[in-house]
């Protein structure tokens, strides 16, 4: 523990997560026992208010048990890890780039609500508004487990703020989520299969990253995967970050193959447009956000775009549990 502070920190983090899970379970047991005893007392004493309070407590407990059941589903090989989240604007210029920026804000607000840490790895701003692409690192327990269901194409329908004639527009953006992996997971990469480019992150290079000549882009030729890092001032640091991101992307790809989902994922990546979306956000002519995989929907579009996406994440987890 003393000789390896990094390992010690990870071990303590794992311990705290396990302790929180066990404490939550025992707390549910106590609440169930208390509600049962309260109901029993009320029946014996003829106090209907006691029974009503016990029924109310059991109703609240039922909701919490459901939430804990969903948390128990986050037991995949990489579910507990931090994650990288990429957003790419689809075709459509300013409209799509503004939509990508709206999605970025949604995920940043979601992470903020959970107390997760976010770090910008790469950002490319749009010419007039929004962003062309962005990669952020989200650090927090089960970050990948919660967000892995967000990979896919997101569709927006609204009255365009950039259209002088106030016409309705449809915009697309893709989101890809993959786990941050550590030294416990080995991913072999042949450097001969990679092309490494350095460039300057300036101008439209993003407001959250350093404007230096140290930005690094790595292209993995066999898979076509491209990763970029601009967050550090040192080219060597950005190179290390980019290699780490590439290992994570290749690991995520292998996991998807094991789950026999790679064909569907690659098909979705081929076109950021019609027929490939996982969720629709309709602001005009009515208000509705609907996940096309789980049929989960809500009319609270403002809340969703402000980061309240837990209903969709939980519905996806519940659907996968049903499949199993």
pLDDT, tens digit (0-9, with 9 covering 90-100), for 166-218: 788 899 999 999 999 876 667 888 889 999 998 876 544 455 655 556 789 99
DSSP-assigned letters across all residues of 229-283: E-SSSSHHHHHHHHHHHHHHHHHHHHHHHHTT-HHHHHHHHT-SSTT-EEEEEE-
What are the Cα distances from residue 197, in Å, to 32, 103, 126, 183? 59, 28, 22, 25
Residue 41: pLDDT above 60? Answer: yes
The CA-atom distances, in angstroms, between 8 and each of 4, 123, 143, 163 are 6, 33, 21, 55
**Can you tell me which residue has the tokens 């959250």?**
208
- Which helix (H) or strand (E) segment holds residue 102: the answer is helix 94-114
Q: What CA–CA distance (Å, rounded) separates 102 from 94?
A: 12
Type and span of the H or E element at 138: strand 131-139
Residue 250 · residue 220 · CB < 8 Å: yes
With contact defined as beta carbons under 8 Å apart, do 228 and 215 qualify?
Answer: yes
297 and 282 Cβ atoms separated by less than 8 Å: no
CB 177 within 8 A of CB 150: yes
Q: Return the residue matching tokens 């447009």.
A: 273
262 pLDDT band, cuts 50/70/90, is very low
Confidence of residue 74 (pLDDT cuts 50, 70, 90): confident
**Parallel/antiparallel/unpaired status of strands 152-159 and 131-139:** unpaired
* % of residues, the chain, pLDDT over 90: 40
pLDDT digits (tens, 9 = 90+) for 99-133: 999 999 999 999 999 999 999 998 998 888 899 99
pTM over 0.85: no
pLDDT per position as a tens digit, 245-257: 998 888 888 877 7
How many residues are there in the chain? Answer: 324
Q: What is the DSSP letter of 164?
A: T
The 8-class DSSP code of residue 93 comes to: T
- Which residue matches tokens 């439209």? 204
């Amino acid at each position: 523990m003393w000789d390896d502070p990094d390992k010690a920190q990870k071990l303590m983090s794992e311990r705290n997560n396990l302790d929180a899970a066990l404490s939550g379970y025992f707390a549910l047991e106590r609440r169930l026992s208390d509600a049962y005893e309260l109901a029993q007392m009320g029946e014996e004493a003829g106090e209907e208010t006691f029974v009503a309070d016990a029924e109310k407590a059991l109703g609240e407990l039922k909701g919490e048990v459901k939430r804990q059941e969903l948390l128990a589903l986050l037991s995949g090989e990489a579910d507990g890890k931090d994650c990288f989240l990429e957003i790419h604007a689809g075709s459509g210029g300013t409209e799509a780039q503004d939509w990508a920026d709206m999605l970025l804000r949604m995920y940043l607000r979601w992470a903020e609500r959970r107390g997760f840490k976010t770090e910008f790895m790469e950002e490319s701003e749009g010419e007039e508004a929004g962003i062309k692409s962005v990669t952020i690192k989200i650090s927090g327990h089960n970050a990948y487990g919660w967000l892995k269901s967000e990979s896919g194409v997101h569709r927006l329908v609204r009255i365009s703020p950039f259209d002088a004639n106030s016409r309705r527009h449809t915009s697309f953006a893709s989101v890809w989520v993959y786990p941050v992996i550590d030294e416990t997971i080995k991913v072999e990469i042949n450097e001969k299969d990679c092309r490494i480019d350095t460039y300057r992150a300036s101008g439209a290079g993003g407001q959250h990253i350093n404007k230096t000549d140290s930005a690094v882009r790595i292209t993995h030729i066999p898979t076509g995967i491209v990763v970029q890092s601009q967050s550090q001032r040192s080219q060597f640091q950005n190179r290390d970050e980019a290699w780490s991101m590439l290992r994570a992307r290749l690991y995520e790809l292998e996991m998807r193959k094991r789950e026999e989902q790679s064909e569907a994922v690659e098909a979705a990546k081929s076109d950021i447009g019609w027929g490939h979306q996982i969720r629709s956000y309709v602001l005009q002519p009515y208000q509705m956000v609907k996940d096309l995989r789980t049929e989960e929907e809500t009319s609270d579009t403002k809340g969703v775009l402000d980061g309240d996406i837990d209903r969709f994440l939980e519905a996806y987890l519940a659907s996968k549990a049903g499949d199993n």
